[in-house]
């Protein structure tokens, strides 16, 4: 099994953990710490997926080596796939997640159904609650992994 496959498998495992955090941990504890834990796992899934794509590009000789830093990795992907609008959409979302997790944040309605993490980004305020995690972030991460599997030949389109 190649490095690429291992990274994509790790991304799948991280997304399983995210599902558990959202559907079990968060439903019972309802704290911003759990929301942040889910965000860290989603970022980790993106990291593994990006790594998998880059290893595929190395194996197919599109790049000589896989960059070390997250910034270099996304720059390399953006250059290699500059025509790929969907991949660039995923990269932008990943950059947003990384900014989100580093931003100062506040808590609202902890221990209640509408527990919310409120982050102050440079030019906007982001409110992350259970529904946003479930319907947006988790789904986008899964879509990115599926897209990466198609891109790397691990899955046929529409499988």
Predicted confidence band at 4 (pLDDT cuts at 50, 70, 90)? confident
Predicted confidence band of residue 5 (pLDDT cuts 50, 70, 90) = confident
145 pLDDT higher than 70: yes
The whole-number pLDDT of residue 159 equals 59
Q: Is the model's pLDDT at 1 over the cut of 70? A: no
Contact 22, 142 (CB under 8 A): no
Answer yes or no: is pLDDT of 157 > 80. Answer: no
Instruction: Tell me what the pLDDT averaged over the chain comes to.
Output: 93
Whole-Å CA distances, 117 to 6, 19, 27, 69, 120: 32, 18, 15, 27, 10
Enumerate residues 6+ apart whose C-beta is below 8 A from 100. 39, 119, 121, 126, 128
Give residues with Cβ within 8 angstroms of 122, minimum separation 6. 99
Angle value at C-alpha 33, between 27 and 36, nearest 5 degrees = 95
Question: What pLDDT score does 19 carry?
Answer: 95
Could you give the CA distance from residue 31 to residue 7 in angstroms, rounded to a whole number? 30
Compute the average pLDDT of residues 84-97.
Answer: 96
pLDDT recorded at residue 30: 94
Query: Per-residue pLDDT for 133 more than 70?
Result: yes
Residue-wise DSSP of 108-146: ESTTSTT-EEEEE-SS-EEEEEHHHIIIIIHHHHHHHHH
DSSP summary character for residue 86? H
- Model pTM greater than 0.85? yes
How many residues does this entry show for the chain?
Answer: 159
User: What is the rounded average pLDDT of the residues 100-105?
Assistant: 96
Query: What percentage of the chain carries pLDDT values higher than 70?
Result: 97
Q: Is the pLDDT confidence value at 106 over 80?
A: yes
Q: Provide the β-strand partners of residue 125.
A: 120
Query: Domain boundaries in the chain?
Result: 3-103+131-151
- Residue 27's pLDDT is 86
From edge to edge, which strands make up the β-sheet containing 116-120?
105-108, 116-120, 125-129
Average pLDDT over residues 118-145: 93
Q: Is the pLDDT of residue 24 over 90?
A: yes
């Amino acid at each position: 099994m190649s490095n690429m496959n291992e990274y994509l498998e790790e991304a799948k495992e991280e997304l399983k953990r995210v599902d558990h955090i959202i559907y079990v941990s968060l439903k019972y504890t309802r704290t911003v710490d759990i929301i942040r834990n889910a965000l860290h796992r989603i970022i980790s899934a993106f990291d593994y997926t990006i790594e998998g794509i880059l290893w595929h590009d190395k194996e197919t000789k599109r790049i000589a080596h896989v960059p070390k830093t997250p910034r270099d990795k996304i720059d390399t992907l953006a250059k290699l796939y500059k025509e790929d609008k969907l991949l660039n959409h995923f990269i932008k979302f990943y950059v947003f997640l990384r900014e989100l997790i580093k931003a100062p944040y506040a808590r609202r309605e902890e221990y209640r159904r509408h527990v919310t993490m409120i982050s102050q980004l440079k030019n906007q305020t982001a409110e992350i609650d259970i529904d946003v995690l479930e319907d947006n972030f988790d789904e986008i991460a899964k879509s990115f992994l599926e897209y990466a599997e198609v891109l790397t030949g691990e899955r046929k389109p529409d499988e």
